[in-house]
């Protein structure tokens, strides 16, 4: 058998989504609905894959150029139904010299993100084993409302009736049409010419091809999807949320079977492109988005979001938002830490409570323990940044870089005004504003000398509780300080 030709129908407007974004571009687990279908289709190694676009076609085509540039697209300018969409795709292929009559043609829908390659392999295998003219991917639902019903005679499929066109008796049928098929190419080309618009929607139904083939005695079979959820389509935000939960459970189950500990699977969300090593631990309310990689022994969460991040062996990340960052082996991050793009935490480094870092490199064993902002900076090995330190990187027009050397000690409540360099082994005094480079091994003191104005509160705030407390203290304290 020749490799199949795959046609994905993605031209619909999806009005029930009530969104400026085309329905097929809404995302589940870090991939668009259409992207999930393409990923499933890739399992059967198609010779050609054509996506039929329509509503907001420019957005859809741009998305496909980014995520699946090997896919061809054709626009259905007049959306006259699923049968018409398939006809448009077949004509597109024929114009490009593709002989569709000699290969199986698989038709899928772009809004079924839960579709698995396993279901497609089963459908295509059964299609070939039965030498079928058409094979319908089906499922048995307890509540089949809204779906087309499969009409059978013995083990053969003789037709598909849409919900709006079904009789009350036909609506009692639980086996439904997924909208996905495998056709023998020549049979599809022949039968599709017989479609008409004599139905409640006034459209060419692809389902009518099934009835045409069955009525002339061709073999038409139904094959159940691997899992009922495989065929679920997305029409509104409620169905989108339901599909998200199913995908979340599938992904979490895969990783738990691979040796990842997930304390609360229902509050843990992992995108399809993430990579987790065995013995990773994810605590509740953890989200892992994009191509994030987490190495063995790392502990992430609770209350943590990682986006396209790298987390090293045995690192600990608590109550943190981290995007496009690298967290080294044995490093600790959090709680309540914000790591912005370009940040690298070296091995055994620390970014502690209420620390924000952006485009900053923290050397091995270096620490930013508390209440600090580190932006556009390079910090060497074994250095400590005192609490409340601000790397002042922005002058209102440009960003400036600050460099802190190895084994340096930056005092608490410092302002490091970039561009500035603090040398290896240098110290800065607490409360300093550092505007000039600090040589290696030097101590920088950048603060005004303190002076005390005695009895200021008694003179300027008489009658206040502060003044009363001061009065009591001065009466019992005969230290003899000279007033200034």
Residue 155 has a pLDDT of 87
Residues of the chain with CATH 3.90.550.10: 5-231
Count Cα atoms within 13 angstroms, Cβ side, for 244: 18
Label residue 162 by pLDDT band (50, 70, 90): confident
3 pLDDT exceeds 50? yes
484 pLDDT exceeds 70? no
Q: In whole angstroms, what is the distance from residue 282 CA to residue 163 CA?
A: 44
Residues of the chain with CATH 2.160.10.10: 259-444
Return phi, psi of residue 179, to 5°.
Answer: 85, 10
Contacts of 78 (CB under 8 A, 6+ apart): 84
Q: In whole angstroms, what is the distance from residue 309 CA to residue 265 CA?
A: 21
pTM of the model: 0.92
Residue 202 has a pLDDT of 78
Q: What is the mean pLDDT of the chain?
A: 95
Catalytic residue positions, numbered = 370
CB 364 within 8 A of CB 383: no
Q: In this structure, which topology does domain 5-231 adopt according to CATH?
A: Spore Coat Polysaccharide Biosynthesis Protein SpsA; Chain A (3.90.550)
Residue 79 has a pLDDT of 85
Q: In whole angstroms, what is the distance from residue 297 CA to residue 313 CA?
A: 6
Return phi, psi of residue 291, to 5°.
Answer: -80, 60
Instruction: Place domain 259-444 in its CATH homologous superfamily.
Output: Hexapeptide repeat proteins (2.160.10.10)
Given the structure tokens 């407007």, which residue do they identify?
13
Q: In whole angstroms, what is the distance from residue 179 CA to residue 111 CA?
A: 10
480 pLDDT exceeds 70? no
482 pLDDT exceeds 50? no
């Amino acid at each position: 058998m020749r490799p199949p030709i795959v046609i994905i129908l993605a031209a619909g407007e999806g009005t029930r989504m009530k969104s400026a974004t085309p329905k097929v571009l809404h995302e589940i687990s870090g991939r668009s609905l259409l992207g999930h279908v393409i990923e499933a289709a890739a399992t059967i190694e198609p010779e050609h894959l054509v996506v039929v676009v329509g509503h907001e076609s420019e957005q859809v085509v741009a998305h496909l150029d980014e995520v699946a540039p090997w896919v061809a697209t054709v626009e259905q300018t007049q959306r006259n139904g699923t049968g018409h969409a398939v006809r448009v795709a077949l004509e597109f292929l024929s114009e490009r010299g593709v002989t569709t009559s000699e290969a199986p043609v698989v038709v899928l829908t772009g809004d079924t993100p839960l579709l698995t390659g396993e279901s497609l392999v089963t459908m295509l295998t059964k299609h070939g084993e039965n030498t079928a003219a058409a094979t319908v991917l089906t499922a048995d639902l307890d509540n089949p409302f809204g779906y087309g019903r499969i009409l059978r005679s013995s083990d053969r499929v003789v037709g598909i009736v849409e919900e709006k066109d079904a009789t009350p008796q036909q609506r009692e049928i639980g086996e439904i049409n997924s909208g996905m098929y495998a056709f023998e190419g020549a049979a599809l080309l022949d039968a599709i010419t017989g479609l008409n618009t004599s139905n409640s929607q006034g459209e060419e139904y692809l389902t009518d091809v099934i009835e045409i083939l069955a009525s002339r005695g061709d073999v038409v079979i139904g094959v159940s999807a691997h899992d009922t959820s495989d065929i679920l389509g997305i029409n509104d935000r409620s169905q989108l949320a339901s599909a998200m939960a199913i995908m979340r459970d599938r992904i979490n189950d895969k990783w738990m079977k691979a040796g990842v500990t997930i304390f609360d699977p229902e509050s843990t969300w992992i995108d399809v492109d993430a990579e987790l090593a065995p013995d990773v631990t994810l605590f509740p309310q953890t989200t892992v988005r994009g191509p994030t990689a987490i190495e063995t022994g790392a502990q992430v969460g609770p209350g943590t979001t990682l986006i396209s991040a790298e987390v090293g062996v045995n690192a600990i990340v608590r109550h943190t938002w981290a995007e496009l960052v690298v967290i080294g082996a044995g490093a600790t991050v959090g709680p309540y830490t914000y790591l912005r793009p370009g940040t690298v935490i070296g091995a055994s480094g620390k970014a502690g409570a209420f620390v924000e870092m952006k485009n900053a490199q923290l050397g091995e064993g270096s620490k930013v323990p508390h209440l600090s902002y580190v932006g556009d900076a390079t910090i060497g090995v074994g250095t400590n940044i005192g609490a409340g330190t601000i790397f002042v990187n922005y002058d209102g027009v440009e960003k400036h870089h600050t460099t802190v050397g190895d084994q340096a000690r930056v005092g608490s409540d410092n302002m490091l005004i970039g561009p500035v360099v603090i040398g290896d082994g240098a110290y800065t005094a607490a409360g300093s504003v550092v505007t000039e480079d600090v040589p290696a091994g030097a101590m920088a003191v950048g603060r005004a000398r303190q002076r005390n104005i005695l009895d200021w509160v008694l003179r300027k705030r008489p009658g206040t509780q502060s003044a009363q407390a001061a009065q009591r203290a001065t009466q019992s304290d005969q230290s003899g300080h000279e007033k200034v």
